[in-house]
């Protein structure tokens, strides 16, 4: 085993509380153990999915008032024409927009597109749900 390395993580108290209760429910006795498992699961999932063709749905909730965010969301989609099947925009309320983007392509590309959308400032929530295209599954 490689040398253990310690690193610090900053996150807001509320999120940490929720994380602690979620890992307690799963029977973890330490945060380190839970975080190690999360990292491993993420790395494996990414590797496994990278080249497979998938369909997916990206759900994006973002701040309608944040300057240029709408443009950035649209710009990113224009740069990924091959992966974007369809987009639906819903004005949730005075302050919030929901964008549902149906995507199709190599899982790695889809994942990176979702990551980029998630990283835009003013995006409150971004989820990616991937599914099979159905071919090769009987
Ligand atoms: Ni809107």
Ligand 1 centroid to residue 125 C-alpha, Å: 15
CA gap 37, 110 in Å, rounded: 23
Is residue 100 domain-shared with residue 34, that is, in the same domain? no
Which of 5, 26, 49 is the endpoint of a domain? 49
* Residue 29 DSSP symbol: S
- CB-side exposure of 107: number of CA atoms within 13 Å? 15
Is residue 69 domain-shared with residue 29, that is, in the same domain? no
Domain housing 41: 13-49
Q: Which of 137, 134, 133 is nearest to 56 (CA)?
A: 133
Ligand 1 centroid to residue 56 C-alpha, Å: 22
Is residue 61 domain-shared with residue 30, that is, in the same domain? no
Is residue 62 domain-shared with residue 78, that is, in the same domain? yes
Q: Which residues on adjacent β-strands are paired with residue 56?
A: 103, 130
Ligand 1 centroid to residue 82 C-alpha, Å: 24
Per-residue model confidence as pLDDT tens for the chain (138 residues): 678 899 999 999 999 999 999 999 999 999 999 999 888 877 766 665 666 788 899 999 999 998 899 999 999 999 999 999 999 999 999 999 999 999 999 888 888 899 999 999 899 999 999 887 776 554
Number of domains in the chain: 2
Q: Looking at residue 57, which CATH number applies to its domain?
A: 3.30.70.1150
Q: Are strands 84-91 and 96-106 parallel, antiparallel or unpaired?
A: antiparallel
Q: Which residues on adjacent β-strands are paired with residue 58?
A: 101, 128
Ligand 1 centroid to residue 71 C-alpha, Å: 12
**21 within some domain:** yes
Ligand 1 centroid to residue 8 C-alpha, Å: 37
Instruction: Give Cα separations from 80 to 25, 103, 104, 123 (angstroms).
Output: 39, 9, 10, 19
**3 within some domain:** no
Ligand 1 centroid to residue 128 C-alpha, Å: 20
Residue for token digits 């927009």?
Answer: 97
Rounded to the nearest angstrom, the gap between the alpha carbon of residue 91 and the centroid of all alpha carbons in its chain is 21
Ligand 1 centroid to residue 95 C-alpha, Å: 8
């Amino acid at each position: 085993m490689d040398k253990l390395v310690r690193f610090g993580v900053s996150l807001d108290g509320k999120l940490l509380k929720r994380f602690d209760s979620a890992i307690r429910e799963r029977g973890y006795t330490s945060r380190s153990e839970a975080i190690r498992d999360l990292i491993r699961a993420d790395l494996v999932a990414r590797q496994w999915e990278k080249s497979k063709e998938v369909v997916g749905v990206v759900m994006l909730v973002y701040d309608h008032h944040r300057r240029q965010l709408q443009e950035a969301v649209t710009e990113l989609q224009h740069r990924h024409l091959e992966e974007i099947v369809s987009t639906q925009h819903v004005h949730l309320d005075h302050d919030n927009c929901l964008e549902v983007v149906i995507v199709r392509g190599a899982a790695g590309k889809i994942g990176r597109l979702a990551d980029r959308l998630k990283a835009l400032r003013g995006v409150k929530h971004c989820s990616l749900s991937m599914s099979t295209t159905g071919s090769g599954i009987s």
